[in-house]
Amino acid sequence: MKILLVGAGGREHALAWKIIQSNLCDKLFIAPGNAGTEKCGENVDIKVSDFEKLSAFCVANKIDIVVVGPEEPLVNGIYDFFKKKHATAHIHVIGPAKEAAQLEGSKAFAKEFMRRNNIPTAAYKEFTASNYEQGIEYIRNHTLPVVLKADGLAAGKGVLICTNHIEALAEFELMIQRAKFGEAGKKVVIEEFLDGIELSVFVLSDGKNYLLLPEAKDYKRIGVGGTGPNTGGMGAISPVPFVDDVFLNKIKVRIIEPTISGLKKEKLEYKGFLFFGLINVKGEPLVIEYNCRLGDPETEVVIPRIKNDLVELLIATAHQKLDEVKIDVDPRIAVAVMAVSGGYPNEHAIGKEIEGLNDTVIEGSIIFYAGTKKDGDKVVSNGGRVLAVTSFGDTIREAAEQSNYMLEQLYFEDMYFREDIGYDFK
């Protein structure tokens, strides 16, 4: 089996690391990949958005499966692009069709889907320039905080939690009248603020059946104690201590199953990973968002806990046979801590040499490379989030301390990581 993995982050290194452990994988290519994926297969210099080049590469190299890591190519229709072309129609693309990927690509689409399928989520209304005045009135009468969401993909920046009406009205004006988040962001979802603890739940869907993967919790803020600006994610833990059987059952019955049956009923083709961004409000799960992919850095804890052959799971997904496989999960706790370049999520340096990578091997830990590239023999930083270290332990604290210890053995200029990942749990 020849596989092409699309993407370049820590998530893709974790997927590549797992894929090459399978006897079913004869050759793995990664486009464009990073300095970590290069150790698992062959990096190919093609952008994730260049469907023409990706499909030509797949034909020339007789690729059987394409695994798509990030949302952008999915929301832009990579699945449909491959299906429509005679030369690539037989290739299994792991990821939803364009229309189904709108679950992530359009907040309004996702909210309407949840409403149609009775899936618990925050109460909301959507507004555009055509009902702008009503939007103003809606905000004025809304309880605080009020949440404003730009409709389209906005690189994680399109959600604003406003604690007063003046700020909310000003932001609403910027979004609709001045396209603060681009054309797609001129549609705005205004919703109620939910107060609770967030968690990430993942399934692999084959369009008929689903396989529940280990859940995780992401630490989004830059600073210790969950302070400062939001990031792509500074660390993750799996499993999540408050997810017991009762809570998990509510998630399955109220959220996952209606989502999978809703997709089927609405003929939204979905053979891929589906990420439920949930919030636990006093023991009740609600959906904050859908993502049409795996999370990063959640993948760095979820994938290492899966004991199954991942390629076997991907083949079962492609053939709609996920009902025939059983997930086998490592009971140990995994904690990933992300090392970032100083200044991230704002301006930060790249091109800094990373030292200590070869010497740092500790049993029970894995270094996943994120924004990195090779520069001759050196590995240098090439993004805000640079490395994730995942460690296993019997307790969250033990695993987190080991990841922190590992990161202390590594160095690049202005490297920073949160030393308190998972410390909100005992």
Which among ligand GLY, ligand AMP, none contacts residue 218 (Cβ within 5 to 8 A by kind)? ligand GLY
Rounded to 10 degrees, the C-alpha dihedral 194/200/201/207 comes to 90
Angle between helices 132-140 and 165-177 (to 10 degrees): 160
Residue among 8, 16, 67, 194 that touches ligand AMP (CB under 6 A): 194
**227 burial type by CB count under 10 A (0-12 exposed, 13-18 middle, 19+ buried):** exposed
Site for ligand AMP in 105-124 (CB under 6 A): 122
Rule CB under 6 A: choose which of 16, 147, 216, 294 binds ligand AMP: 147
Nearer to ligand AMP, 149 or 217 (CB): 149
State the nearest-atom distance from the C-beta of 185 to ligand AMP, in Å: 12
Q: Are 127 and 148 in contact, with CB atoms under 8 Å apart?
A: no
Query: Residue 298 binds which entry of ligand GLY, ligand AMP, none, with Cβ cut-offs from 5 to 8 Å by kind?
Result: ligand GLY
If binding is defined by CB under 6 A, does position 218 make contact with ligand GLY?
yes
CA separation, residue 325 to residues 239, 291, 305, 312, 392 (Å): 21, 24, 16, 9, 25
User: Binding pattern to ligand AMP, positions 151-180, x when CB under 6 A?
Assistant: --------x-x-------------------
User: For ligand AMP, which is the closer residue by CB, 44 or 161?
Assistant: 161
Beta strands (DSSP E) in 170-226 are 188-192, 197-205, 210-212, 217-218, 221-223
Contact flag: residue 298 with ligand GLY (CB under 6 A)? yes
Q: Which does 191 bind (CB under 5 to 8 A by kind): ligand GLY, ligand AMP, none?
A: ligand AMP
33 makes contact, choosing from ligand GLY, ligand AMP, none, with CB < 5 to 8 Å by partner type, with none
Displacement of CA 202 from its chain's centroid (Å): 9
Choose, by CB under 6 A, the member of 38, 191, 206, 296 that binds ligand GLY: 296
# residues near ligand AMP by CB under 6 A? 12
List 80, 173, 198, 257, residue binding ligand AMP (CB under 6 A): 198
**CB neighbours (10 Å) of residue 236?**
29
Nearer to ligand GLY, 88 or 259 (CB): 259
Q: Is 257 in the site for ligand AMP (CB under 6 A)?
A: no
Burial class (CB in 10 A: 0-12, 13-18, 19+), 246: exposed
- Among the listed ranges 97-105, 189-197, 337-345, 358-366, the one in contact with ligand AMP (CB under 6 A) is 189-197
Evaluate whether 320 touches 206 at the Cβ level (below 8 Å). yes
Asked whether the CA dihedral 214, 220, 223, 224 is positive or negative, the reply is negative
Considering the rule CB under 6 A, would residue 274 count as an interface residue with ligand AMP?
no
Two tokens at 118? 């009775």
Record the tokens describing residue 1, joined without a space.
């089996």
Strand positions, DSSP E, 107-234: 124-127, 146-150, 159-162, 188-192, 197-205, 210-212, 217-218, 221-223, 227-230
Residues that bind ligand AMP (CB under 6 A): 122, 147, 149, 159, 161, 191, 193-194, 198, 277, 288-289
Residues that bind ligand GLY (CB under 6 A): 218, 232-233, 291, 295-296, 298
